[in-house]
Chain A
């Protein structure tokens, strides 16, 4: 009985915390510099145990990846994909998976609308790559990461 009331208190506290943080974020009305789509793929020999068959935009990007010699794999499987706002003067996390993710620190848009940002790619607690980048509309960025089984991890970034 004691445990049940403790559980209830805990759940209610978490809900209150969640609601207040959502209201707080809305009140601040953080300004977005851009919206960035990111997809995490398995690329390698056929393996249906990993992810799903890419569709729509994720599939179109695979067609483009296959035009790059270093990214010519027989199969691409989509593990995760998200669109996130890249906030002005804030660090923004783009999280297509729980293991590999991206941090973007926006440096604003240039005259042509390209996003200037500092890119960090993380594998859990480790930074794999840090770079200053320009992400242009219609020109994605593909990153081939570590080997995963018989294939590779590939990350795609696209300015929406």
Chain B
């Protein structure tokens, strides 16, 4: 008996049950012309599926955001360098424009991923790693970083070791806040910002914003 259109489509997609596949194969064996056509269609379908497949492991949407921000920073940098020679104030228009575009792209991306994962597992976006009871769903955006997280009995503490991070040069000065310095974030950040603005008003600065 000739298979239905629905069955032939499913045969191309290889989604028929074992029993139905055998029945269609039997029919195709007796109909070589149709067999050739269907096999060609299956081959094309496989190629399309391969080309359109999303990456196997899609981390949380924040990873995408992070990569996008890094790329935006890279794009802004040369423009800022060129502009600084000509003018003391440069409006990063591209950032605002591209950010809006990026926000829309991220929203679509996140929706698609959430729908895909929900469809696949009926669950929320999967965590990259599951570790220790007090720390779950750990992920790092940098591929080179390996996380070792565990509960240390002797110290009664949760410990996270981040291996593979880029080294901070010895001469880099890291300004701290609070108990160690008696300075707050506002002192350091806004203090220097006000100073920089005042210098700018006095016409001595060529800082680029």
Contact A128 B177 (CB under 8 A): no
CA distance A3 to B170 in the complex (A): 40
Contact A133 B158 (CB under 8 A): yes
Most A CB atoms within 10 A — which of B137, B138, B185, B194?
B185
Known A-B contacts A127-B141, A129-B138, A142-B160; A147 and B168 likewise in contact (beta carbons under 8 Å):
yes
Q: Closest residue of chain A to B185, judged by CB?
A: A95
Within 8 A of A (CB), among B115-163: 127, 133-142, 145, 147-149, 152, 154-162
Whether A80 contacts B165 in the complex (CB less than 8 A), given A132-B136, A134-B134, comes out as no
**A35 at interface by CB-CB < 8 Å:** no
CA distance A133 to B155 in the complex (A): 18
- Chain B residues bordering chain A, tally (CB within 8 A): 57
A24 CB–B CB distance under 8 Å: no
A153 interface hit (Cβ, 8 Å): yes
- Flag if A80 contacts B177 (CB, 8 Å): yes
What is the interface size of chain A, counting residues whose CB is below 8 A from a CB of the partner?
57
Tell me which residues across on chain A come within 8 A of B145, comparing CB atoms. Answer: 128
Contact between A141 and B141, CB atoms less than 8 A apart: no
A96 touches B177 (CB 8 A): yes
Bound: A140/B151 CA distance, A: 10
Instruction: Contact check, B165 vs A10: say whether CB atoms are below 8 A apart.
Output: no
Shortest Cβ distance from B134 into chain A, in angstroms?
Answer: 4
Residues in B neighbouring A65, C-beta threshold 8 A: 155, 157
**What is B's interface to A at a CB cutoff of 8 Å?**
60, 62, 66, 69-70, 73, 127, 133-142, 145, 147-149, 152, 154-162, 165-172, 174-181, 185, 188-190, 194, 197-198, 201-203
